[in-house]
């Protein structure tokens, strides 16, 4: 599992390097705008595949029976709900922080 995440991160770094080393950034932005639906769709599908794979491995789910699929759906939906709940709480925590810099070394 770690190898797949490492390969995914490496691919993301390569894509970013190519994007920022490109001579024509506007062309790249036009391509992203043109294919935004497909990019979002691909990200959602990759998220579903990787997360379902992770859940099925860690929870030892049986996807061969209807009860197993129903159990897997429950576990997966609870997991996705927890992920979004954590994102919600983290965002709230970040918003509540005092982001104004204070005096440095007691002066100011």
29-83 pLDDT, tens digit each: 787 788 899 989 998 898 888 888 888 888 888 878 888 888 888 988 998 899 8
16-25 pLDDT, tens digit each: 777 777 667 7
Residue ranges making up the domain that contains 26:
1-34
pTM above threshold 0.85: no
* Within-domain flag for 39: no
Q: Do 28 and 4 sit in the same domain of this protein?
A: yes
Q: How many domains does the chain have?
A: 2
The pLDDT value given to residue 10: 85
Is residue 69 within 8 A of residue 63, CB to CB? The reply is yes
DSSP string, 40-82: HHHHHHHHHHHHHHHHHHHHT---SSHHHHHHHHHHHHHHHHH
The pLDDT value given to residue 82: 92
* Within-domain flag for 103: no
The CA distances from residue 94 to 27, 79, 80, 90, 100, in Å, are 34, 23, 21, 6, 13
Unique residue bearing structure tokens 């061969």: 64
């Amino acid at each position: 599992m770690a190898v797949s995440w490492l390969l995914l991160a490496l691919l993301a770094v390569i894509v970013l390097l190519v994007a920022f080393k490109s001579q024509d950034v506007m062309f790249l932005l036009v391509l992203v705008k043109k294919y935004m639906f497909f990019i979002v769709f691909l990200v959602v599908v990759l998220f579903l595949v990787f997360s379902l794979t992770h859940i099925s491995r860690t929870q030892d789910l049986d996807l061969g029976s209807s009860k197993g699929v129903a159990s897997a759906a429950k576990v997966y939906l609870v997991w996705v709900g927890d992920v979004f709940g954590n994102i919600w709480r983290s965002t709230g925590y970040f918003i509540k922080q005092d982001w104004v810099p204070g005096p440095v070394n007691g002066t100011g």
